[in-house]
Amino acid sequence: MKIIFNRRYVMSEDYRAMWQDLGVDLEGHDALLAVLGDAYRDIYLAQKNRPEAMAYFDFVMSEVHGLRIKELMDEKREGRKIIGSYCVFVPEEIALAANATLVGLCSGADFAMEEVERLLPRNTCALIKSSFGFKLAKVCPYLESADMVVGENTCDGKKKAYETLGGLVDNLYIMDLPQVKSAQGRELLKAEYLRFKDAVEVLTGVKITAESLRDAIVLVNKKRAAMHRLLALRKADPAPISGLDSLLANQIFFYDNPQRFTESVHLLCDELEKRVAEKRGVSAPRTPRILISGCPQAVPNWKLPMIIEGLGAVIVGEESCVGERGTRNLTDESGESVAEMMDAIVDRYFAVDCAIFTPNGERRDHIREMVESYGADGVIHYGLQFCQPYLMEAVPVENSLEEVGIPCLRLETDYSMEDMGQLKTRVEAFVEQLR
């Protein structure tokens, strides 16, 4: 089977035997790939004036359930373990240091909702329901290939949902997270990361050493630093890359081989630097510039960016876990012992300003800083339906922006296409306001 994404790249192999061995439902998976391929062609490949280096990311998407899964299965045959996660609070450094690969797990689309709602209330967060749908429908080869699935108590919905998910996956590991930025909160996070380190060592049979942990920290820092370079280039006017393409890089960050991803982002940035020097962008100068803030946008959740940029604006930043919040900080590399480096990892992740924290003024400050830094004309606060932490923070975020004269549009949606017309109407009015 070949799903064509562009003229240059197609799926190079028939992966059906591999998917079948993983327990993937082939009929449902075929349907998913068909929809994904059509959506990608219509949304991404229809863009004009794309950077040539985006061809790599197009290829990754064309093989996201193919070649990448084959790579993971090859790693497993060589004795390496695969750890799947749903959240940026799961430290990739620890997994890599113990000879494991950390990958993001599927969400971002509605699947098997009737089955999901037999297990979860209908008014459960769309992201939680989506992750259950991919498991119940057996259409996520990342999930099916994982030797450990890490769930984290970032909100009450996830905390209770994982009790049910534990009966659906073989090795679910639950990580507790602090809710308050305090000395006690940091100690809780440290204890949980040390416990996670021990669990990963048991899983892999590999003892984490100072050398392996330092190498892992450097590797992940390089990946984040490449994204920092991309983010900095988006500050130019005209914008050298679309928000859709930048979002794609942010999404692939969680799936791809770290070294290859880092090299590919730098190649993209080399091209974008030339565009900036030539004042050549994907849109005209002074095009309305929008910052998206709020909930993460996992593959294939491209609905809102498609609407925004289809209406003549350009997205210049994402204040999101799949965006700057997830990559903002580097881990201090100066530690010499495992204990010192574990402390550095704790400090790095404790600085993430997720909406689970209270109080969370840091997040509002960061949004205002990003507006100024990226030259954004306005902010669209994106809330997933029934995601209480981000929906509750939407009002104080809007009020904080209004204090400094920055327009903000609060949107609440899910993964369906049913509200496309309503969203277009509201976004169009907001873009006209920014003009």
Residue 3 lies in a domain: no
The beta strands (E) that lie in 181-313 are given as 289-294
Confirm whether 2 is domain-assigned.
no
Q: What pLDDT score was predicted for residue 14?
A: 86
Query: Alpha helix locations (H) across 78-209?
Result: 92-97, 113-116, 126-136, 141-145, 156-165, 183-204
Residue 67 inside a domain? The answer is yes
Whether residue 8 lies inside any domain: the answer is no
pLDDT averaged per 10 residues, the chain (length 435): 39 83 96 93 96 97 95 97 97 98 93 95 96 97 98 95 96 97 97 98 98 98 98 98 98 96 98 98 96 96 97 98 96 98 98 96 97 98 96 97 97 96 98 95
DSSP H helix total and E strand total for the chain: 19, 8
For residue 184, the enclosing domain spans 18-434
In a domain, 107, yes or no: yes
Q: 387 — phi, psi (to 5°)?
A: -85, 90
Under DSSP, is residue 88 helix (H, G, I), strand (E, B) or coil? coil
Q: Phi first, then psi: give them for residue 48, nearest 5 degrees.
A: -100, 150
Which residues does residue 83 pair with via DSSP β-bridges, in sequence order? 102, 148
In a domain, 374, yes or no: yes
For tokens 């205002």, what's the residue? Answer: 368
Of 435, 374, 434, the C-alpha closest to 406 is 434
Q: Output the pTM of the full model.
A: 0.94
Residue 141 in any domain: the answer is: yes
Which bin fits 370, alpha (ψ -120 to 50), beta or left (φ > 0)?
Answer: alpha
Q: How confident is the model at residue 6, as a pLDDT?
A: 42
- The count of structural domains within the chain is 1
The values of phi and psi at residue 261, to 5°, are -60, -45
Q: Is the peptide bond before 300 cis (omega within 30 degrees of 0)?
A: yes
H-helix or E-strand spanning residue 271: helix 258-277
Asked if residues 151 and 320 have their Cβ atoms less than 8 Å apart, the reply is: no
* Omega prior to 238 cis, within 30 of 0: yes
Residue 179 counted as domain residue: yes
Give the model's pLDDT for residue 9. 40
The 148-152 sheet, strands edge to edge: 100-104, 81-85, 148-152, 172-175
Q: What is the pLDDT of residue 2?
A: 38
